[in-house]
Structure 1
Amino acid sequence: MENKKTPYVIYWIIIGIGILSFTVPIFREYGIITTLILTFLCGIFSGAIAMVIGKRSFMYISGLLLISPWVFLLSKHFIN
């Protein structure tokens, strides 16, 4: 029997990994490259799962995850 909550759990795990990738630049010198790649991949996969689920708000969250590293770099540029 298929569980209907499995896509939701997988979606939030991927979103959590994408958000936690922002801790990588703290511990590694060139960690922003890893953050860019990881958040981009997490945003794409979470967007695909959101389309399968059919929740528009989840698609918005995935879109924000896609652009978040670029906003992080932009804000870091203006702060320094």
Structure 2
Amino acid sequence: MVEVRELDSTLEVILVSGLQKNFTLQEVIIIIEEEGAQVVSANYSTTDDMIFYMIRAQAKITRLGVDASRVNLRLQKLVS
């Protein structure tokens, strides 16, 4: 599951994955940064056989913002 929310110049990314994930947190951060945001916090927790990621990022250029739909699309491709 991938959920991306845009709040003004802040981006919130929530990822839920199985323990046998086929991507790394670094790959997720690279995508977010390539789309014009800077990660300000990244947390994760595990429950049974699931990993929950919560990433917050800030637009590098506030007036331009970040295209949340593009970030979502790229992350969907990564995790699938």
TM-score norm. by structure 2 comes to: 0.28
Flag the structure with higher strand content: 2
Flag the structure with higher helix content: 1
TM-score norm. by structure 1 comes to: 0.28
Structure number with higher relative contact order (C-alpha < 8 Å, ≥ 6 residues apart): 2
